[in-house]
Structure 1
Amino acid sequence: MSELREALPRLTHPDGAPVRVLVADAESMVGDLLSMGFSLCGWEAQLAHDGAAAVQMGTQRRPDLAVLDTDLPESDGLEVMARLRAHWPELPVLILSAQAEPQDRIAGLAAGADDFVAKPFALEEVLLRAHRLVQRSGMTAAAGEELVVGDLVMNTRTHEVRRGGDLIELTATQFNLLKFLMANVRTVLSKERILQDVWGYDFGGRANIVELYISYLRKRVDAGREPMIHTVRGAGYVIRPAV
């Protein structure tokens, strides 16, 4: 377990807040084990032992990942997943099940689960799969030096930016603009806010500067690839992992 913790990247939100995971398992010992494992990785774990509690917790505050047992009382794991996704359509979900036959795995994945682990399981496997799901979601960054959105990775210490492993050359201002977008992944940012945070002065007829630099970024980040930088008409710009 200690070796795995050292090997896994320590994930946080770009603002430094811990990753949030909702764990729902009918077996208290299993739930406690998972909660402890995630806590040791620096994550904030919420624990539920039935479907109703899982839905209540997961809808009150969006988790970054839900780990759901299929055999929950009141509402099973797949039903909980559907109800959570009604609130958070892009929520990553890992399903746990004592039913390990291929048809059970296929049914879980077909219902929309992002991953499926059969019981009994090794805690290290669940933690590794959980890390990968959260990293792919683009909602978090590797703590300290990296921002990660999909296959776009920025090292804030070396100022290296790579997409799909390919190095992207940026000027200092382009780098700062991309950093601001990545630190606010999936958040629509107005031109006024971008000007204030990247250039440091108030909006005053300078929208063309933002438009120009967004155009520069698109040519470097999105050229020949699935686009990540999007315009939201009348609202601003947003970066999202490519589909």
Structure 2
Amino acid sequence: MSKILYVEDEIFLARIVNDTLQSRGFEVAMEHDGGMALQRFEQFKPDVCVLDIMLPNKDGFTIADEIREKDSDIPIIFLTAKSEVKDVVNGFKIGGNDYIRKPFSMEELIVRIENVLKQNNTPEIASDELTMGSYQFNIRRQQLIGGGDDRKLSYRESELLKLLYENRDKIVERRDILNLLWGSDSFFNSRNLDVYITKLRNYFKQDPSIEIITIKGIGYRFVVS
């Protein structure tokens, strides 16, 4: 059973979310006071934190920053009524894994919780040097060798390829890619992602065993046969 620390000061909303999460099999520790959140985190030892941003005594960003000092890996999802891009960017800089704007549906929240838990359980790549078909990808150097080329990747190309490889043979949702690598799933960023996917496909075109498959309306699957 996955454990969720849920910090929210809107009492009516908090009860609905808490009851729904528990009915779906999650164990929930609910806190209304931002000033008490870190103490609850240390006592409860959750698997994921869901933090409202506007809270009494201590805001969600400050709480996340304190949690990151204790645990650099635990997934953090922010909830907020704010919609400014700078707030979204700030959340990801602090170390947030996802960001949901109010009002939201419970199904959306549950899917996002499941996604960050799944990503957090993905085994880490043990080596800087990865073999992908007839290609070699050096993560640290951002270098892709194969198909007659020795190609230096941009930072975002490298991070996108690493993300797809870590989740190979699984569907990676567009929204998750955009939030993780660009900080938001805006239309402009979505078009940028299309460009980067096309670039990666072109880099691997000499090896037909490597595919980046589009799952229409959902995301991508990286396959090495």
The TM-score range, normalised by the shorter chain, is 0.5 to 0.7
C-alpha RMSD of matched pairs (Å): 2.2
Deviations 1:138-164 (A, max 9, x none): 1xxxxxxxxx7479xxxxxxxxxxx72
1:27 paired with 2:10, answer: yes
Pair 1:120 & 2:103 matched: yes
Change (3 A) 1:150 1:39: farther
State the secondary structure of the residue aligned to 1:94.
strand
How far 1:113 sits from its partner (Å)? 0.7
Q: Which amino acid aligns with 1:122?
A: S
Aligned partners of 2:46 and 2:28: how far apart in 1?
A: 9
Query: By how many angstroms is 1:122 displaced?
Result: 1.2
Matching residue of 1:65: 48
Aligned residues: 130
Q: CA deviation at 1:85?
A: 1.7
Q: Does 1:133 align with 2:116?
A: yes
1:86-110: CA deviation from partner (whole Å, max 9, x where unpaired): 2122110000011012222122122
Q: What does 1:49-64 correspond to in 2, within 5 Å?
A: 49-64=32-47
Query: How far apart are 1:74 and its partner, in Å?
Result: 0.8
Q: Which residue of 2 aligns with 1:102?
A: 85
Match in the other structure for 2:154: none
Tell me by how many angstroms 1:115 deviates: 0.5
The 3-state SS of whatever aligns with 2:116 is helix
> Which whole-Å deviations, capped at 9, do the CAs of 1:56-110 have from their partners, x for residues lacking one?
1101232100000001111100111111122122110000011012222122122
1:3-14 paired onto structure 2 within 5 Å: none
Matches within 5 A, 1:157-176: 164-165=168-169
- 2: distance between equivalents of 1:87 and 1:30? 28
**Inter-partner Cα distance in structure 1 for 2:84 and 2:70:** 30
Give the corresponding residue for 1:78: 61
Partner of 1:188: none
Cross-structure match for 1:41: 24
- Find the aligned partners of 2:9 and 2:60 in 1 and give their Cα distance: 10
Distance 1:118 1:26 in 2: 15
Amino acid at match of 1:164: R
Q: Could you tell me which amino acid in structure 1 is paired with residue 8 of structure 2?
A: D
State the distance in 2 between where 1:128 and 1:55 align. Answer: 25
* Large movers: runs of 4+ above 2 Å: 148-151, 163-166
Contact (CA 8 Å) 2:29, 2:44: kept in 1 or not? no
Q: For residue 26 of structure 1, what is the amino acid of its counterpart?
A: D
Structure 1 Cα separation of the partners of residues 85 and 21 of structure 2:
27
TM alignment of 1:83-94, pairs within 5 A: 83-94=66-77
Shift of the alpha carbon at 1:165?
2.5
- Look up the match of 1:203: none
Counterpart CA distance in 2 for 1:116 and 1:105 is: 7
Asked whether the 8 Å contact 1:136–1:150 carries over to 2, the reply is: no
TM-score where L is the length of structure 2: 0.54
**Percent of residue pairs identical:** 26
SS in 1 for 2:61: helix
CA contact (8 A) 1:100 1:119 kept: no
Determine the C-alpha separation between the residues in 2 that align with 1:92 and 1:34.
Answer: 18
Q: Normalising by the residue count of structure 1, what TM-score does the alignment of the two structures yield?
A: 0.50
Give unmatched runs, 5+ long, in structure 2.
126-166, 171-225
